[in-house]
Amino acid sequence: MAAVNKFPFVKNLRGAEMLTFPGKVQAGSTQAIKAGEICTYDETSGYFIPADAVADRRYSLAIANEEQKADGLARYMEFIALRPDDVFEFAVDAAAQLTLGDGLELTASDSQKLTRDVDGDAVAVVVGKDNYPETGTTLGYRSYAQVSFLPVYSYWEQNVLKGKLKKLISTAADITLKPEDCGAVVFVTAAKTVTLPSATVPIGWNVTVVVGADAAVVIDPKPDTACIYIKGAKQAAGKYISMTDIADYVELMWDGTDWIAVASLSGADADITVET
């Protein structure tokens, strides 16, 4: 569905004015953006893009407050910051009896529509209650929702205020971590490989990997060199480690030369093993 210009901001629950900031966008011939589109900051390109173009759910969200037309030049344009008390109204993909606190996620094909969350990885929660009845207990169906976005997915909270937020990445596929995933909890629900980022990440870069199913989750420390260790677990230069039991986890931190297993459940000797 093609995006159309909209203005989704409703109010701030504490009465504050809408907050906007300048964000860099590509030329419109490369990426046109409509006012009201949910966008995410792409660390690789350095531009904001519509969030429906992002497949791995590593969101750093803001809402476009103006249009970048097809003939527009690369520039800074106005985005709406997502704060915990800000309320926005978006269409939902199917009419539903939404209740306060229900989770919603982004819609893969439409960056101006939300979808009922079914896997516990919501980006926004319902805060509107206009479908609640005046009498009785039957909720009305609505094809839209008033929502607030979770701070952990907000560009403003992540990159401007730099709050101490824990990003959750839930995956059932192989995944290569990026510099912007620092501090994340990666919840792996299948026998897949988590590849750690390049050795160019700063000292102190850290991640927690959690096993979400009884399956071997592999952690590969060497995206660009064969001589990096994972110290603190059974390890050898350039080898990866694996965890096999549900709820096992390992927290890894980069010391500038190698990865340090600073914490793990069930013990590195018993459940974390080196693969050759």
pLDDT in tens, 247-263: 888 888 888 888 888 87
Residue with tokens 């229900």: 102
Give the span between the Cα atoms of 266 and 92, in whole angstroms.
Answer: 42
133 in any annotated domain: yes
257 in any annotated domain: yes
143 pLDDT higher than 90: yes
Range of the domain at 261: 166-275
Same domain, 147 and 252: no
More confident residue, 270 or 68: 68
Give the span between the Cα atoms of 216 and 246, in whole angstroms.
Answer: 9
59 in any annotated domain: yes
Of 163, 188, 203, the domain-final residue: 163
Give the span between the Cα atoms of 191 and 213, in whole angstroms.
Answer: 8
Given a contact cutoff of 8 angstroms between Cβ atoms, the answer to whether 63 and 79 are in contact is: yes
35 in any annotated domain: yes
More confident residue, 135 or 260: 135
Same domain, 46 and 108: yes
Same domain, 139 and 200: no
Average pLDDT over residues 232-238: 62
Same domain, 62 and 103: yes
Q: End-to-end alpha-carbon separation of the chain, Å?
A: 48
2 in any annotated domain: no
Same domain, 137 and 225: no
Of 101, 130, 163, the domain-final residue: 163
User: Residue 11: its pLDDT value, please?
Assistant: 96
4 pLDDT higher than 90: yes
| Least confident range of 74-88, 198-212, 254-268 | 254-268
236 in any annotated domain: yes
Could you give phi then psi for residue 225, rounded to 5 degrees? -155, 150
Structural domains counted in the chain: 2
Same domain, 61 and 155: yes
Same domain, 125 and 230: no
Same domain, 119 and 184: no
Of 135, 163, 191, the domain-final residue: 163
Q: Domain containing 175 — which CATH number? A: 2.60.120
Same domain, 150 and 31: yes
Give the span between the Cα atoms of 260 and 166, in whole angstroms.
Answer: 20
User: Residue 155: its pLDDT value, please?
Assistant: 93
More confident residue, 61 or 200: 61
pLDDT single digits (tens) 149-189: 998 889 998 888 876 667 788 888 899 888 778 888 999 99
Same domain, 74 and 99: yes
126 pLDDT higher than 80: yes
1 in any annotated domain: no
Question: pTM for the full model?
Answer: 0.69
3 in any annotated domain: no
Q: Highest mean pLDDT range out of 29-33, 158-162, 203-207, 217-221?
A: 29-33
Same domain, 174 and 136: no
Q: How much is the mean pLDDT over the chain?
A: 86
Same domain, 80 and 40: yes
Q: In terms of C-beta density within 10 A (0-12 exposed, 13-18 middle, 19 or more buried), how is residue 48 classed?
A: buried
